[in-house]
Amino acid sequence: MGVEASNQHAEQALEYELVDEILPLNEAVAQAEVIVMAVPVNVQVNLLPQILDMVTNQIVMDMGSTKSDVIEAVQHHPNRGRYVATHPMWGTEYSGPKAAVRGAFEGKAVILCNRKDSDADAVEWVENMYQKIGMRIVDMEAKAHDLHVAYVSHISHITSFALANTVLEKEKVESAIFQIASAGFESTVRLAKSNPEMWVPIFLQNKVNILDVLTEHIDQLTKFKDYITNSDKENLQSLISDANKINRIIK
C-alpha cells in the first residue's frame, strides 16, 4: 500500500507495480504491519508524530538523511518504541518512483540510529529485512550520524551544486562544454541534478555540521587558490599528495 502526496508519483508507483494500491494515510496505517517513511526530512519531523499517534503495534521506520531532529521530535511519544530510525546509504540524483533501481541496496551500508530507544521486536524485524536485501548494518547515535553524513554525503551535494552553478554562470557558450564535457566532469557534477525539495531541508536540519565542513572546504579551496596564484609548486604538490590519501577510504 502506498501513500503519496503527488498524483503523478502515485500513478507511476502503481504503473511500475511498486505498490498494489494508493490509500489515504490513516487507512494505510490502520491496515499496515510495517510503515516505511520516505519523505523530505522537514515533512518527517511533523509526520512521524502523527503516524505514531495512529499506530498500535505496527513498526515505523524511515529513510531520512538526518536523524537528530526527527528523533527529538518523538523522544517522549508514548509509541516511540515502535519507531526505528534508519538511513540506507544509497541514492542517486533522481527522485520519484521512476528513480527506483532493483537491487540497489545490495552490499551497501544502512545506519541504525539510537536502537536502544526502539522496541526489541521492531529493531529485529528491521534488521532482518535489511539483511535479507544484502545490506551491512552500522550502529550510530543520531548526533554521530548527522556529523558523519555531513562529510560523506551532504558536502558532496553542496560542492556539486556550486560547481554546476560556477560552470553555468561563467560558460555562456554552452555548446562548447556540451561538446567536450568528459567523465571526470560528469562524475563531479552529477549530484547537482538532485531535487531541492529533498536537499534544502537536509541542509537546514544539519546546519551546524554542514557549516563546519563547508567552512573547512572553502579554506581548502582557498589554499589551492593561494598556491596557484603564487605558482607554489611544492605546496601544491603536498596538497595533492595529501588528497591522494583518500584511496585509503575509497577503492
Site for a copy of itself in 210-249 (CB under 8 A): 210-218, 220-225, 228-229, 231, 233, 236-237, 239-249
H-helix or E-strand containing 72? helix 68-73
- Of 76, 116, 169, 172, the residue at the interface with a copy of itself (CB under 8 A) is 169
- Of 5, 102, 132, 178, the residue at the interface with a copy of itself (CB under 8 A) is 178
**Roughly what angle, to the nearest 10 degrees, separates helices 155-170 and 196-205?**
120
Binding residues among 5-64 for a copy of itself as defined by CB under 8 A = none
The residue among 119 and 141 lying less far from a copy of itself, judged by its C-beta, is 141
- In the chain, the amino acid numbered 200 is V
- Alpha carbons 133 and 111: distance in angstroms, whole number: 14
Smallest distance from a copy of itself to CB 143, Å: 12
Instruction: Kindly state the DSSP code that residue 111 receives in the 8-state scheme.
Output: E
x/- binding map, residues 93-132, to a copy of itself, per CB under 8 A?
---------------xx-x---------------------
- Alpha carbons 157 and 206: distance in angstroms, whole number: 13
- Of 20, 80, 163, 172, the residue at the interface with a copy of itself (CB under 8 A) is 163
Residue with cell 537528530: 68
Regarding 179 and contact with a copy of itself (CB under 8 A), the answer is: yes
Q: Quick one: cell of 144?
A: 554521530
The residue among 79 and 206 lying less far from a copy of itself, judged by its C-beta, is 206
The residue among 20 and 242 lying less far from a copy of itself, judged by its C-beta, is 242
Contacts 24+ apart (CB under 8 A), 41-44: 41/65, 41/66, 41/69, 41/70, 41/201, 41/202, 41/205, 42/201, 42/204, 42/205, 43/201, 44/70
Question: Binders of a copy of itself: how many residues, by CB under 8 A?
Answer: 92
The residue among 80 and 87 lying less far from a copy of itself, judged by its C-beta, is 87
